[in-house]
Chain A
Amino acid sequence: MKIYIYKGFERFWHWTQVLLMIILALTGFEIHSSYSLFGFENAVKLHGVAAWAYLILIVFVLFWHFTTGEWRQYKPTLKLLKAQVDYYITGIFRGAEHPTRKLIYNKFNPLQRLIYLGLNILVIPVMGVTGFAFMYLNYPNTTFELSSLDIVALIHTIGAFSVVTFIIAHVYLTTTGHTPLSAITAMLTGWEKVDPNDARAMVVNEMEVVLKASESHLKTDDHKKELLDEALEETEKFLGMKREEKFQNVIAKSGAGYFRINKLGYYGAVNDAWIRLYKYDSADEIIGKHYSLSRTKEDFGELEKTFNRVLQGETIPHGEVKRVCKDGSLGFHTVTMTPVVMNGEVVGVEGFILDTTVRRLAEKELMENKILMEELLKKKEG
């Protein structure tokens, strides 16, 4: 089974870094007089150009890591670290299972986390600082100059050996995946061949994370609180339309689907996102229809319970649910339902759904896998 694990930027970044590291190592050790390859002058120039290119790359990579939150991948953990080390020392020979699973939101095993973190916050910055010191701080009459390059050279050389050692070990360890080439293939295509169990764990994990992300997205925007306050406490002060507008604005901003169902269970309003998620062509197709058609028969009971509780005045974040789209296909989203109150009386239910599958292009592919998974599981069960 294949899953999409490395996004385009990650792959671009990784292979550019590979190229730059190789150039830097080859030219660096030539400048170190370990051999001649490009010619000293060319080596110096190339080393400098590669260093600058690397710096530019790092700026983009940092930006990417912090805007996507991917930096969390490097948070060190001691949990399972020993298990991971043991696996490499003994387990791998016995054909034991990997102690950790590769997941989209937890791509690195504890050992990788530690090594990559060390590389990212220690080796690469130190190489950068000493490297630029080498280039720019060794001449007199500058604002800051080193009395000698001794220490800089020492550190830079230690770093160089560390990086080359890392490359050897890293390249080898890529062969310890599901198949020897699966990791490298994944870094080339984005798609990694994984064990079906891994894939299943991954789907579950991905959902959890998306759910958390959706919640925190609302939380951090302070919109959820605002939303609920308005829905529960300030209902009487506003006209339904006005409140609705505000509510819908918030929903529109969050990219979520919005729906309103009357007391009897018929759709009163849906927004474009909702229509898209349910694969309808227009609102007309759904307005006035009963909400039971949004669920499979098995799931409807649960939804009905929730619906009835909301009619009693509760606001319920329902969590992950499975929807039935117009064409009968299945999708996943989180749903939060809140009562519609008019003149002190509950007249219906409104809520928003956050799709947990179609957040990005990559996850669209994942969606198909999920569906496939569901079907497979179903078959298995059946």
Chain B
Amino acid sequence: MKQSVIIVLLFFMIQSLAFSQKAENNKTQATRLLIENYTFKADRKTSVPVDHSKFDILKQDFARPQDVTLACLSCHTERHSELMVNNHFTWDRKEKILNHGLISVGKKNILNNFCIGVESNEVMCSKCHAGYGWVDTTFNFQAKENIDCLVCHDKTGTYKKGMGGMPTPQTNLNLVAQNVGLSSSQNCGACHFVGGGGNNVKHGDMEKAMLHADRNLDVHMAKEGEDMNCTECHVTENHNITGKLYALSSENNDRVSCEQCHTDTPHKNKILNNHTDRVACQTCHIPTYAKANPTKLWWDWSTAGKLDKNGKVFEIKDSIGDVVYFSKKGNFKWGRNVIPEYRWFNGLAGHHLVTDKIDTIPVQLNTLDGSYADKGAQTKSLAPSKIWPVKIMRGKQPYDTEYNTLLQPKVVGPKGSGAFWADFDWAKSLEKGTEYIHEPFSGKFGFVETEMYWPLNHQVAPADQALKCTDCHARGDESRLSELDGFYMPGRDHYEWLDYLGIILLVSTFAGVLIHGGLRIFFRKNVSH
């Protein structure tokens, strides 16, 4: 009886151990990922349904790019109505912003800490506008021929946009118009890789190298792997492109997520799956960003404007060739293989508008809402806040010391226009810029530190490079999450006083044992003598 109980008991114990062992084996064998809502490379259709070079209307000698648009719309009728409400064209979104309510803001009028703001500088910024001829407030957003179809649908790779968003004079509109197709990563990257004035400057996790990525740079876009296009994830229907970034967006909708293909329980390990409740996939799977080329982490406008002895602009490079000073822009700091910073985020964001008073330093140009305590039940968001990896862009930019507001400078324009990049006079540039947006300017200005949050989503690393437990579950600075507070995390947190007390208890018990034992031996000898 006794033996049989013990055997049963042993059986249970061994079972539970063996079970965990089995789970372990499964994990190592699992090479096939759980994927849904996705067409694998091998199954993708490659045939082209239409040869645009056969259409007579595209064989004409286009004098203006707008004529190409009209030619497109002559067959693709009504597509313009989709574009006219698309923020690639409007640079504007009507959204509920955390600290402002429902308002209409967007790329056209939100300040950042790169080139600061579009307004009064449209002629340059519109190089990345899906339209033709936006140079000032007179641009007609209602004219359908002002839409630029080609920038997103060019398959030749020869289409280049210049000032005002017009194609450069070298562009062969005929060739491009006859070779259009579905947007590829090249089309998206033409703008999205080079935001902020150069490759990888802005996002840090989106750049040209991803067009030729290997697995280590980006598992999704890797040539030898699935070789995915942007639109594989940023699923698009009727020109409504899913996905957006909280540098400009505010609401928790239209997002692209890892879970849409990978589900929210992609791991074999249950404990890891539990993590997905409060940890974004990106947190572990984007261990570093700016893996191929550097990204800008600091931009100090306050030092801009120094000229060399000939009165010319100059730049200074550091030992590895990164530009650390440029007369037009000021001082920079760059980062390669940057370890992200981490924040709680629930999908809602706030923005500091040009009309807002400065109430914190550094000024928070955008704020990611969320906290450990926000578990989704009573808050504005439906899901609990998760820990997200973020690139935090820091810098100094001009503000009105009297009115305590950020300022919109005019930077682009000919000499004498007040544009900073031509005249190098801050007072004039800020005066022109604020005048353009009808905001007050006291004439007194300084430079204030600002911060901007860029949640990271791209350059996902292979699974074996994902963060390990102890990247976060570690004491002090060894933990990547050392800055997040409001919760107890095993491995990271401990009660110092309790550990001290505990160690004192253990040591004194041990010492007590030694002393007691020693005395017993001593007295026994004495007794026996």
| Residues of A near any B CB (own CB < 8 A) | 7-9, 12, 16, 31-34, 36, 40-41, 44-45, 48-49, 52-53, 56-57, 60, 64, 88, 92-95, 134, 139-141, 145, 147-150, 152-154, 157-158, 160-161, 164-165, 168-169, 172, 175-176, 361
Contacts and interface: CB of A to CB of B under 8 A. Distances in A.
B523 A93 contact: yes
Contacts, number: 129
B5 interface: yes
Contacts of B277: 139-141
A41 B517 contact: no
Question: Which one of B3, B490, B495, B523 has the highest number of Cβ atoms from chain A below 10 Å of its Cβ?
Answer: B490
A33 B6 contact: no
B262 interface: no
B470 A164 contact: no
A63 B522 CA distance: 45
Contact of A31 (B376, B491, B509, B519): B491
* Shortest Cβ-Cβ A-B pairs, 8 listed: A161-B502, A40-B469, A149-B488, A93-B523, A172-B513, A140-B375, A140-B384, A150-B488
B60 interface: no
B38 to A, nearest CB: 26
B494 interface: yes
Interface in B481-529: 486-495, 498-499, 501-502, 505-506, 509-510, 512-513, 516-517, 519-520, 523-524, 527
B73 interface: no
Contacts of B513: 168-169, 172
A214 B523 CA distance: 46
Nearest to B12: A56
A166 to B, nearest CB: 9
B498 A33 contact: no
Contacts of B512: 169
Nearest to B498: A157
Given A32-B490, A161-B506, A52 B527 contact: no
Contacts of A149: 487-490
B372 interface: yes
A33 B491 contact: yes
Contacts of B495: 153-154, 157
Given A8-B6, A44-B271, A148-B488, A157 B502 contact: yes
B344 to A, nearest CB: 13
Contacts of A53: 12-13, 16-17
B103 interface: no
Contact of A41 (B2, B5, B469, B519): B469
B473 interface: yes
A93 B517 contact: no
Question: Which one of A12, A31, A140 has the highest number of Cβ atoms from chain B below 10 Å of its Cβ?
Answer: A140
B428 interface: no
Contact of B20 (A49, A56, A172, A175): A49
A33 B473 contact: yes
A44 B270 CA distance: 12
B520 A93 contact: yes
A16 to B, nearest CB: 7
A168 B511 CA distance: 10
Contacts of B375: 140-141, 145
B102 interface: no
Interface string B448-481: 0000000000000000000011100111000000
Contacts of A45: 20, 271
Contacts of B37: none
Given A49-B16, A95-B523, A158-B498, A153 B469 contact: no
Contacts of A41: 468-469
B517 A175 contact: yes
Given A45-B271, A140-B277, A161-B502, 12 more contacts: A9-B2, A31-B473, A33-B475, A33-B492, A49-B17, A56-B9, A57-B9, A95-B527, A139-B274, A148-B486, A150-B487, A361-B2
Contacts of B488: 148-150, 152-153
Interface in B227-266: none
Majority DSSP secondary structure for residues of A touching B: helix
Nearest to B489: A149
Question: Which one of A33, A88, A141, A154 has the highest number of Cβ atoms from chain B below 10 Å of its Cβ?
Answer: A33
Given A9-B6, A41-B468, A140-B277, A153 B493 contact: yes
B373 interface: yes
B278 interface: yes
A85 B277 CA distance: 52
B71 to A, nearest CB: 53
Contact of B473 (A40, A158, A176, A361): A40
A31 B209 CA distance: 39
A156 to B, nearest CB: 9
Given A32-B494, A33-B492, A149-B487, A9 B468 contact: no
Interface in B1-58: 2-3, 5-6, 9, 12-13, 16-17, 20
Contacts of A12: 6, 9
A3 B524 CA distance: 26
Given A57-B9, A60-B9, A52 B16 contact: yes
A88 B470 CA distance: 44
A139 B278 contact: yes
Given A49-B20, A157-B495, A33 B474 contact: yes
Contacts of B2: 7-9, 361
A33 B473 CA distance: 8
Given A41-B469, A45-B20, A168 B510 contact: yes
A64 B469 CA distance: 40
B473 to A, nearest CB: 6
B469 A172 contact: no
Given A49-B16, A56-B13, A168-B510, A141 B384 contact: yes
Interface string B384-396: 1000000000000
A169 B16 contact: no
Contact of B506 (A134, A139, A157, A165): A165
Contacts of A140: 277-278, 375-377, 384
A360 B430 CA distance: 99
A92 B474 CA distance: 46
B212 to A, nearest CB: 34
Contacts of A52: 16
B11 to A, nearest CB: 10
Contacts of B524: 95
